[in-house]
Amino acid sequence: MSDALTELRRELAQITDLRTAARVLEWDQLVMMPRGGAGTRGDHLATVGRLAHELFVRDEIGELIETAASELDGAGPDTDDACLVDVTRRDWEKARRVPPDLQAEMTKLSSESVEAWATARANDDYASFRPWLDRTLELKRRYVACFPPSDDPYDPLLDDFERGMQTEEVRRVFERLEPALRELVEANGQEEDEPFLTGPYPESVQHDLSVVVARALGAAEEFFRLDSTVHPFCTSFSTQDVRLTTRYAQDDLHASSIFSTMHEAGHGLYEHGGDAALDRTPLATGCSSALHESQSRLWENVIGRSLEFWRWFYPQFRDGFAVLEDVPLETFHRAINRPRPSLIRVDADETTYGLHIILRFGLEQELLFGDLDTKDLPERWNDRMEKLVGIRPPDDRRGCLQDVHWGAGLFGYFPTYQLGNVLSVQIWERLLADVPAAYAQIEEGSFGEIYEWLRDRLYRHGRKFTPTETILPSRAGPIDPEPYLRYLADKNASLAAA
């Protein structure tokens, strides 16, 4: 290894260690910290984050990148070293384009604006949040202006989460999805709620069953924790130390821990499956938001809501909950899958979910670069919701105030959720071609071969390649909505026939 590369790796290890320390602080804050800790934890996080940023944007890092690049000495473009130099150069150039003052202003605004959003949502008071949203939009436009002009001003925002993805490509996928999803929801979403959906599902039983499922999927005790929190998430501190979280709603099967555990386990298996040689480098995490979400949704939905999965797991699951005593497997399976028009994105079924995202993708572009004034957001949200899903929010709490993302300055993030859904089925189809016994294995509670296929094709590469390059080895090809639409159509047809 060249001296410059060795030195670059040393510097990046140190910066990655700081970023990891920040993630430990965040996990602790959300999962373990007594309330009293809130007063100083923000300061601890700001210090660690600022030091990591300052160390990274130094001139010396840029020089090391160029020297290391010139000394790669014919290392193939797929080698860890070549990818490290390439990805680091891209991250560094992007970070250097944003003036430190703007960066600091965005960070500060984001934490204050999230507080304002939380209060506004609690009080159903959009007007109090509007000035924060205006200010966030202004800073986001200044952020976009830091980058060279692109085909679409939304591109740099999308690129933060989905390296190299074009807005035009997302638009093409979503335009194909919208009418098809609306049709599926209209045709299948008219049933009354099943009475057993509201439980009770006692927390301790949920917990024990969630641990059983997480371990079965591959989240071994040696490498994974599972804890409870308010808004479940997954984080990791190395490929060998992954933290899953879940929540335990006792009166709503959809919000029970079982699905959120499988969702976060999907994220966690992706992190755990990374090549350990990438630990302590910027390559040691999932490739992109959409690819990460493709894995959480693959394990939660494609596997975890399949009839085969519940053939294996339903006997144990039903034993735990008296309310399910007389509920047949097929009835249960239909209840956790069928469309039901809903106002809240995070509670949406698989079919409706995409419409929630399509709504946000359109509105955030109109807010940033189009004709939509923030004062008109609630009405336009409600009109569009009525058109897409067929129901109108009675208040903003269940309308444009429901998600934290805009409060947190996360513009460009929403579409990756639905791209993840699309990719999950695309990848699953390729897996089925190589592992034809996959469904038979699921029915036996055996997930090892599925994990190994995904690890070999996707997980082990970490962040070495672009999303498109990453899914190529799985031969899934460029993003394509057709497998996903076929999957939803088949599922809805099978539910109707059941």
Residues identified as active-site = 264
- Any contact of residue 436 with a second copy (CB under 8 A)? no
Quick one: which of 198, 202, 213, 212 has its CA closest to 321? 202
Phi–psi pair at 34, nearest 5 degrees: -65, 150
Q: How far is the CB of 57 from a second copy (least distance, A)?
A: 16
**Residue 204 interacts with a second copy (CB under 8 A)?**
no
For position 279 contacting a second copy by CB under 8 A, the verdict is: yes
Please identify, using beta-carbon distances, which residue of 48 and 209 lies nearer to a second copy: 48
Interface segment toward a second copy; rule CB under 8 A; list 28-36, 91-99, 440-448, 455-463: 28-36
Distance CA 260, CA 321 (A): 18
Which of 1, 2, 7, 14 forms a contact with a second copy (CB under 8 A)?
14
Quick one: which segment of 34-42, 176-184, 288-296, 341-349 binds a second copy (CB under 8 A)? 34-42
Q: Which among 234, 227, 296, 300 is positioned nearest to 266, based on CA atoms? A: 296
CB 454 within 8 A of CB 273: yes
**Run of H or E residues at 244:** strand 241-246
Question: What span, in angstroms and rounded, lies between the C-alpha atoms of 137 and 135?
Answer: 5
Q: Which residue lies nearer to a second copy by CB, 241 or 449?
A: 241
* Of residues 18 and 442, the one with the C-beta less far from a second copy: 18
Q: Which stretch binds a second copy (CB under 8 A): 75-83, 179-187, 218-226, 464-472?
A: 218-226
Query: Is the CB of 245 or the CB of 418 nearer to a second copy?
Result: 245
Per the document, the length of the chain is 498
Q: Compute the Cα dihedral for 250, 254, 255, 258 and give only its sign.
A: positive
Among candidate residues 395, 421, 362, the one with its CA nearest the CA of residue 181:
421
List Cβ neighbours of 171 (8 Å cut-off, separation of 6 or more). Answer: none
In the set 3, 6, 13, 183, which binds a second copy (CB under 8 A)?
13
Q: Which of helix, strand or coil describes residue 151?
A: coil
Residue type, 62: G
What is the nearest approach in angstroms of a second copy to the Cβ of residue 35?
Answer: 5
Q: For a second copy, which residue of 5, 8, 48, 336 counts as binding (CB under 8 A)?
A: 48
Contact between residue 31 and residue 229 where contact means Cβ atoms under 8 Å apart: yes
List 5, 6, 12, 34, residue binding a second copy (CB under 8 A) = 34
25 contributes a contact to a second copy by CB under 8 A: yes
Of 389, 402, 376, residue with least CA distance to 349: 389
**Region from 18-26, 210-218, 339-347, 411-419 binding a second copy, contact rule CB under 8 A:** 18-26
Based on the shown chain and the rule CB under 8 A, indicate whether residue 221 belongs to the binding site for a second copy. Answer: yes
Enumerate binding residues for a second copy (CB under 8 A): 13-14, 17-18, 20-22, 24-25, 28, 32-37, 39-41, 43-44, 47-48, 51, 221-225, 237-238, 240-242, 276, 279-280
